[in-house]
């Protein structure tokens, strides 16, 4: 291969407030530094993919991004709107971000159409599930019987639990001999009913919350509920983030070679 992999990352959105000064008045697409560093650690070139709002501008579409890039990573972030899976928010604060949802689902579908690898992180896993017809727990703690606490905003990425990696899965092959692993937990929504063609690869050891999924078949589409970018490079007993990233990038490389 004569060039580095070009990996697209869906954008988080910070919405502008006219009452605030300077750039805070404007909408901002952004990427957390740790996320970029994780992808760059394996030699990938990272491209933040902005939504295409003006559909007439040079006829640019999200499909053009899918055509030019080698793979897609869906970032974490705000809740997914329950309206995306046919429900109304049970509380106003769970209304999510329908604008970001529509943009990311459109972007995901362009990569699915292009048969290119996709990796979803936290919200990204949830988005894959919803885009393929699945549903979410709007709030795991109150909707799933026996659920443990999966989010503590006061300590953010210092909240941990253990996951069970299911034997015989591709994820298990990436982590041989590791049946249980310590990961971070930063979410209050979670996968409920699985989307079409998806299979579970890991679940929370304490309560069975789905922690990793994969699309069955030839195309590489996978998601994890934890944030591997915050675990990158650590040797303190947390799950190594490198094998997951290397597997995704290897699939992106193989996809290029097969074309």
The reply to whether 254 belongs to the active site is no
Q: Which of 104, 201, 211, 229 is catalytic?
A: 229
Q: Is 227 noted as a catalytic residue in this protein? A: yes
Q: What is the DSSP string of the chain?
A: --S--EEEEEPEEE---TTS-GGGGS-EEE--HHHHHHHHTTT-EEEEE-----TTGGG--HHHHHHH-SEEEE---SPPPGGGGT---SSGGG---HHHHHHHHHHHHHHHHTT--EEEETHHHHHHHHHTT--EESSHHHHSTTPPP---TTTGGG-EEEEEEPTTSHHHHHSTT-SEEEEE---S-EE-SPPTTEEEEEEETTT--EEEEEESSSS-EEEESS-GGGTTT--SSBPPSHHHHHHHHHHHHHHHHT-
| Catalytic one of 104, 122, 161, 188 | 122
Active-site option among 161, 187, 188, 227: 227
122 is an active site residue: yes
Catalytic residues: 122, 227, 229
């Amino acid at each position: 291969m004569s060039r580095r992999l070009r990996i697209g990352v869906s954008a988080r959105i910070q919405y502008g407030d006219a009452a605030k000064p300077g750039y805070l008045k404007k909408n901002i697409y952004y990427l957390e530094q740790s996320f970029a560093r994780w992808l760059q650690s394996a030699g990938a070139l990272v491209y933040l993919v902005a939504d295409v709002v003006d559909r007439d501008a040079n006829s640019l579409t999200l499909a053009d991004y899918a055509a030019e890039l080698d793979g897609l990573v869906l970032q974490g972030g705000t809740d997914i709107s329950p309206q995306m899976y046919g429900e109304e928010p049970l509380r106003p604060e769970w209304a999510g971000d329908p604008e970001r949802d529509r943009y990311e689902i459109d972007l995901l579908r362009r990569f699915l159409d292009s048969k290119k690898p996709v990796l979803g992180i936290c919200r990204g896993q949830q988005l894959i599930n919803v885009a393929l017809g699945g549903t979410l727990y709007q709030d795991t703690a109150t909707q799933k019987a026996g659920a443990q606490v999966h989010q503590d905003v006061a300590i953010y990425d210092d909240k941990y639990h253990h996951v069970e990696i299911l034997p015989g899965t591709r994820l298990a092959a990436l982590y041989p001999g590791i049946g249980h692993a310590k990961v971070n937990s930063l979410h209050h929504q979670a996968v409920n009913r699985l989307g079409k063609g998806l299979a579970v690869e890991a679940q929370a050891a304490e309560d069975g919350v789905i922690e990793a999924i994969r699309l069955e078949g030839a195309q590489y589409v996978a998601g994890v509920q934890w944030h591997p970018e915050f675990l990158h490079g650590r040797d303190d007993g947390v799950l190594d983030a490198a094998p997951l990233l290397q597997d995704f990038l290897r699939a992106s490389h193989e996809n290029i070679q097969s074309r």
